Amino acid sequence: MTTATGADLAPKQYAWEIEADDLTVRVGRNRMAVDGLSLALGTGTHGLLGPNGAGKTTLIRALATVLRPAGGELRLFGSSVRDRADQRETRRRIGYLPQEFGYYKRFTVREFVEYMAWLKEVPKRDVPGAVQRAVERVGLADRADERMKALSGGMVRRVGIAQAIVNDPAVLLLDEPTVGLDPAQRLRFRELLQQLGRDTCVVVSTHLVEDVAAACSDVVLFAAGRLVFQGTPAELAAAGSEDQPGDSPLERGYSALLDSSAGKGAW
Ligand SMILES: Nc1ncnc2c1ncn2[C@@H]1O[C@H](COP(=O)(O)OP(=O)(O)OP(=O)(O)O)[C@@H](O)[C@H]1O
């Protein structure tokens, strides 16, 4: 059990965990991969969908405070990221699984997740319990003392999820977490996403529309750096029609909305 601090018990001072207002984020020399995004996200599991190159990874990196906004406003937990020279306090409350994450191959699973807990400034006495709980939640308790280099790609991905949740984050950012998971693990992971979304603001980028249908309370559809649609999975499905490409109502809704957006003609 982690021990609640005074700050944890205090009432929330903000309406939304994440608020973007006309946000722009630059990549490379002069490309705006996020280009005028306004969005508010609170507790729930938000599925971030969009075609290749839409800007999903760039947006998640900005939310993780890895990239600084070029323009507009980004507020996390009610405070502008611009107002903080030191992002440590914000980062303590964020969990982040990048698309590709680095780790020391000689670490055991437990050592690696402990190390990440330490980086997130989890109080020392809470670390063993927090690590055990995170490892159990991704179904790796029986592999916890194996070295990272002995794990399969899907297991490494699950360790990545464990390190992202070890600090009980209020905002959890997962960039394509289901890549490499086998079907059984994907089903378990969707359940975990649903559980986490009950008291956490989870943003999960995925290419799998079925992940969104099964696990997300709402969908954020993103193309060419802009918001195309935000609504429930049922509303996304309702946007489609039989003549749109796609194997399911959600895929047809996705195609219909992208067709009518600036992403038209994109692969
Ligand atoms: N360092 C960079 N320099 C120049 N362009 C970049 C850089 N990083 C990303 N981009 C471009 O920015 C756009 C958005 O990229 P991003 O990786 O955020 O998209 P994505 O939606 O995550 O794509 P995918 O679904 O393929 O992972 C793309 O057109 C990409 O080519």
Over residues 116-156, the pLDDT tens digits come to: 999 999 999 999 999 999 999 999 999 999 999 999 888 99
pLDDT band at 1 (very low <50, low <70, confident <90, very high): very low
Query: What pTM was computed for the model?
Result: 0.91
Residue 265 has a pLDDT of 45
Who has greater pLDDT, 148 or 262?
148
Instruction: Give 135 or 266, the one with higher predicted confidence.
Output: 135
Contact call for residues 50 and 255 (beta carbons, < 8 A):
no
How far, in Å, from the CA of 145 to the mean position of ligand 1? 36
ipTM over 0.90: yes
pLDDT band at 263 (very low <50, low <70, confident <90, very high): very low
Mean pLDDT of the chain: 90
Categorise residue 55: left if φ over 0, alpha if ψ from -120 to 50, beta otherwise.
left
- Alpha carbon of 85 to ligand 1 centroid (Å): 26
Q: Determine the pLDDT at residue 48.
A: 96
Cα dihedral 189, 194, 196, 200 sign: positive
Give me ligand 1 centre to Cα 59, in Å.
Answer: 10
Among 30, 31, 37, 178, the mutation site with the greatest number of ligand 1 atoms within 8 A of its Cβ is: 31
Whole-number Å distance between alpha carbons of 83 and 160: 30
Residue in 25, 48, 49, 57 to alter for ligand 1 test, most ligand atoms within 8 A of Cβ: 57
pLDDT in tens, 162-204: 999 999 999 999 999 988 888 888 888 899 999 999 999 999 9
Query: Measuring from atom 3 of ligand 1, which residue has the nearest CA?
Result: 28
Ligand 1 pocket mutation pick from 24, 37, 56, 178 by most atoms within 8 angstroms of CB: 56
Nearest residue by C-alpha to atom 8 in ligand 1: 27
Closest CA to 5 of 170, 160, 119, 115: 170
**Residue with CA at minimum distance from ligand 1 atom 26:** 52
Q: Which atom number of ligand 1 is nearest to the Cα of residue 222? A: 21
Concatenate the DSSP letters of all residues of 176-243 into one string: STTTT--HHHHHHHHHHHHHHTTTSEEEEE-S-HHHHHHH-SEEEEEETTEEEEEE-HHHHHHT--TT
Give the binding-site residues of ligand 1, using a 6 Å CB cut-off: 27-28, 31, 33, 50, 52-58
pLDDT digit string, tens, across residues 52-70: 999 999 999 999 999 999 9
Rounded percentage of the chain residues whose pLDDT exceeds 90 = 69
Average pLDDT on 65-92 reads 89
| CB distance 205 to 60 below 8 Å | yes
pLDDT at 138: 92
